[in-house]
A and B are shown apart, each in its own frame.
Chain A
């Protein structure tokens, strides 16, 4: 299976990919400054249209020239059991990524590549994001070949129980399939909705800021006309709640659309020691990960998902842990909207013999609530003083009413459970989330305590895996130390490959 090739160039269509990525980065992270820039340009364009036109043309031409140069300079080849890539217009970067170090492979087929039989391949290693290889626009057959090779390449130091070499095409077993109804539930209950909200809020903020300078009066007029246009029977105090409700509805709709676009036709397969997910409406996406590479399992249930009794599951390979993102976030393999039966099936596949239904979680100390009460109490006192001395309405204080029950709930959710060689952590507020991993995946342990915790004989245990860090808060110091000893013993006696 030693296959090597000369230096190749990707398809020129990759330029589209680079352009789109650039645009997404420009708009996605923070649309505020961009909107400001556009507004400024429009205002300036009234003064000297010619200058703006020439500047814009120059920028566009420069951008195109850079993209073309970037494409010409981007070369890749397979050589000596590794994938080599050179890129960079001004500074040349060379990257060699050995197949046996590959953690995660993603194969995507966006609409603009599909008609040409091309695909986009993303390969991640255990290192940082700079060690990621993107091959935008290579023939599908080649992409599939590289993917298969990356997922089947066995590290040289393989544990005896690992997969039998030569099992090239193990039987494919479907573990999960998602219907649109599942995805709609995922859409309204996933954290992506918060992202939508954040983007909407930042857009609104940018808009109002930009309107603030010169068109304050115009905006006010527009608002007034809008208010006058409202039906007379609508009481004034209902306007704000209705607006919020409308915004929430829009966000939910956006989130559902996103979920459908991203996960339409979702299928999860198990093929021997590897998992494969195919999904996507516009961009067909295929993601593969070897069982051994999965560092931890995360299971989240937001309070909306709780109503539907669904969990969203993600399997995390090594790499810096990214926050929950609408598109699944980095290299994690997602299984959205699982019913209890499906969840049990997948956990059984990933962690055989784990009796999920009968786990007994250890509570953390009730002192967990003290710093939270102290913080919110202080905030409430400050607000009370503020209400007393200025004309802030007194009902503001009512906003603090739900805080104590929420703190109590948050404390009740905290828990941990050591079952054999696996550690399961629980957390959450109204929703609930679980983190599950094998003890031998631990990389660093940290037992720490503040002065008050020390006084009460408590400590926090910080656990870092290759895929992220977790914390068991407010447990007795002795328990923490014993747990630490136990985990260390598991790590240090384990011969299982863990990377």
Chain B
């Protein structure tokens, strides 16, 4: 079945562009949280490795262990700037998410393709008062778009806003609160 909409004469430069989206940064606490959770694992792990090597439990020199530890620490340290470049944009018709320090990506999910929305927060996120917003499309097993590090009230507002919009256009008798968007 074909769409009833056709509009061939529109010039490409007239289309709304993803490059002009108004980007919002994540909560400043998010970058701190990511760094903290990384360090919370790697600092004790490094200390334990050095201790084991000093006690002679593992047959590797302390220098080697320290070097390996430093190399493994790099991704954790980079997670801080990586978290700071993550940003999102909510447009009239779609939701965008941009991430990546070196490997950059921009993901878009049109709002009329969102089937299901979920907010999640783990213990550490709760401590920082943050939530992760997940948007699911049809047919997949995983979330299509994930926005981490939103302040809790903002996250709930966004979820509600995206649900309500879908309700208004798709299914007027459906009231918000349920996570399923009726299509």
Asked if A364 is an interface residue, CB under 8 A from chain B, the answer is: no
| B113 partner residues in chain A, CB cutoff 8 A | 442-444, 491, 498
Residues of A within 8 A of B (CB): 126, 128, 157, 159-162, 273, 291-292, 295, 318-320, 352, 420-421, 438, 440, 442-451, 454, 464-467, 481-482, 484-486, 488-499
- Known contacts A447-B106, A449-B103; A481/B5 CB under 8 A: no
CA gap between A466 and B108 in the complex, in Å = 15
CA gap between A292 and B112 in the complex, in Å = 17
| A486 partner residues in chain B, CB cutoff 8 A | 12, 15
Report whether A446 and B1 are in contact in the complex, using a CB–CB cutoff of 8 Å. Answer: no
Asked if B168 is an interface residue, CB under 8 A from chain A, the answer is: no
Q: How far is the CB of B109 from chain A (nearest CB, A)?
A: 5
Interface string of B2-37 (1 = CB under 8 A from A): 111111101010011111000000000000000000
Q: Of all chain B residues, which has the CB nearest A447?
A: B106
Q: How far is the CB of A88 from chain B (nearest CB, A)?
A: 22
Q: How far is the CB of A221 from chain B (nearest CB, A)?
A: 44
Pick the contact of B103 from A291, A443, A448 — CB < 8 Å? A448
Report whether B138 and A318 are in contact in the complex, using a CB–CB cutoff of 8 Å. Answer: yes
Report whether A485 and B15 are in contact in the complex, using a CB–CB cutoff of 8 Å. Answer: yes
- Known contacts A161-B4, A420-B6; A445/B107 CB under 8 A: yes
Pick the contact of A488 from B7, B8, B94, B105 — CB < 8 Å? B94
Q: How far is the CB of B47 from chain A (nearest CB, A)?
A: 33
Q: How far is the CB of A472 from chain B (nearest CB, A)?
A: 14
| A291 partner residues in chain B, CB cutoff 8 A | 1
Residues of B within 8 A of A (CB): 1-8, 10, 12, 15-19, 93-94, 100, 102-113, 137-141, 144-145, 170, 183
CA gap between A280 and B167 in the complex, in Å = 45
Q: How far is the CB of B140 from chain A (nearest CB, A)?
A: 7
CA gap between A445 and B106 in the complex, in Å = 8
Report whether A421 and B2 are in contact in the complex, using a CB–CB cutoff of 8 Å. Answer: yes
Report whether A448 and B106 are in contact in the complex, using a CB–CB cutoff of 8 Å. Answer: yes
CA gap between A133 and B106 in the complex, in Å = 37
CA gap between A446 and B140 in the complex, in Å = 15
CA gap between A486 and B138 in the complex, in Å = 21
